[in-house]
Amino acid sequence: MQTQTRMTHFCSADQVDPALAAQLIARATAFKRGATPSIPLPTYVANLFFENSTRTHTSFEMAERKLGMTVLPFDPKQSSLTKGETLSDTLRTLAAIGTQVAVIRHPTDAYYQPLIDEDIPLHLVNAGDGAGQHPSQMMLDLMTIHEEFGHFDGLTVGIVGDLTHSRVAHSDMQLLTQLGAKVVFSGPRAWYTPEFEAYGDYVPLAELVPQVDVLMLLRVQLERLSDAERAEFSAATYHERFGVTEALYATLKDTAIIMHPAPVNRGVELADALVTAPKSRIFTQMQNGVFMRMAMLELVCNS
Ligand code: CP
């Protein structure tokens, strides 16, 4: 079955409504079961990663190869961006030589907006912008929750940790609430800033853990903390106050699952031994990410 919605660029959770989320989950699930992709070939894609990545970069490239796309190697550090070329001119160059799709991770929030406004002549897929959005992580998270429970309505999802700096939290809370899930937050109180209040209450961690169906942990993004915050940060203190210890894990519902976008700071937001615990779906998320990115790229390539 071919996807029906048209989407020239896939950059933000704002572009996804419950119907499109359901369509993409169904298509990604079909890919997981062996469905054949349907995109025009040849289709050329370049992955431009201006921030480090293990999962998103390799997962997009795996998805692209499974779709039959041709992947152009591109390293921003080896490109003329280092000589002052603008991102727009780099993308226009890639388009001029025949590239149809650019997958981009960039440290600037909403870097994609000026490019869309100037009608950049290729498809943009956002692989994460600063502390803004991470739509492919959001979609693979939704797929993983749907695979586990078969629905979103009535589920309680606890999002815990470095909320302020998390593009995952920003994307996921938008769609989860639209899909009928109840979202609650925990972690350091200072990171529960007013933007989160519209989506859910702050609940102390020991109260939150026993009530959730999904415990979604977030990495403490040390690279985005101020020098003063980094100097004050203690992994052991964080783990004791805001991390999931074996004792807290024991208070989860029998049916609850733990998710984390990874990379995990083992022993900080989650006890080392719990990364692969029976309730952990962290590596399932990564597996689902390939199929969800196939569905997202197929949608864009057919628009
Ligand atoms: N979850 C995620 O975005 O991981 P990477 O930073 O390794 O891509």
Whether residue 79 is found in the same domain as residue 197 = no
The 10s digit of each residue's pLDDT in 4-40 is 578 999 999 999 999 999 999 999 999 999 999 999 9
What is the H or E stretch that residue 157 is in? Answer: strand 156-160
* CATH number, domain with residue 242: 3.40.50.1370
pLDDT (mean) for 110-128: 97
Q: What does the pLDDT read at residue 186?
A: 98
Per-residue pLDDT for 204 more than 60? yes
* Inside any domain, residue 159: yes
Query: Over 50: is that where the pLDDT of 1 sits?
Result: no
Confidence (pLDDT) at 4 = 59
Q: Are residues 98 and 184 in the same domain?
A: no
pLDDT over 90, % of the chain: 93
Report yes or no on 196 lying in a domain.
yes
CA 56–ligand 1 middle distance (angstroms): 5
Residues 160 and 112 in one domain: no
Would the pLDDT of 269 be above 70? yes
Q: Which of 47, 49, 50, 56 to mutate to test the pocket of ligand 1 (most atoms within 8 A of CB)?
A: 56
User: What residues make up the domain containing 90?
Assistant: 13-133+287-301
Interval 130-155: pLDDT, tens: 989 999 999 999 999 999 999 999 99
Shared domain for 86 and 147, answered yes or no, is: no
Mutate to test the pocket of ligand 1, among 51, 53, 281 (most ligand atoms within 8 A of CB): 53
Indicate whether 278 and 146 sit together in one domain: yes
For residues 129 and 119, state if they share a domain: yes
- Report which of 187, 161, 163, 188 is spatially closest to residue 173, judged by C-alpha positions: 163
pLDDT band at 2 (very low <50, low <70, confident <90, very high): very low
Other C-beta atoms closer than 10 Å to the C-beta of 117 total: 8
Distance CA(48)–CA(204), nearest Å, equals 39
Total number of domains in the chain: 2
pLDDT at 172: 95
pLDDT in tens, 239-259: 999 999 999 999 999 999 999
Quickly tell me which residue has 């979202």 as its tokens: 183
Classify residue 8: in a domain, yes or no: no
Is the omega angle on the peptide bond into residue 76 within 30 degrees of 0, that is, cis?
no
189 in any annotated domain = yes
Rounded mean pLDDT, 50-66: 97
Dihedral sign of CA atoms 199, 203, 208, 211 in order? negative
141 Cα to the center of ligand 1, angstroms: 13
Compute the average pLDDT of residues 225-229: 89
Mean pLDDT score of the chain: 96
Distance separating alpha carbons of residues 231 and 291, to the nearest angstrom: 40
Å from CA of 178 to ligand 1 middle? 24
> What mean pLDDT comes out for the span 47-69?
97
Judgement on whether residues 170 and 110 belong to the same structural domain of the protein: no
In this structure, the answer to whether residues 103 and 41 fall within a common structural domain is: yes
33 and 60: one domain?
Answer: yes
Among 47, 55, 137, name the best residue to mutate to test ligand 1's pocket (greatest count of ligand atoms within 8 A of Cβ): 55
Tokens (6 digits) for 139: 């979609």
Residue nearest atom 6 in ligand 1 by C-alpha distance = 53
pLDDT level of residue 3 (50, 70, 90 thresholds): very low
The answer as to whether 7 is a domain residue is: no
CA of 283 from ligand 1 middle (Å) equals 12
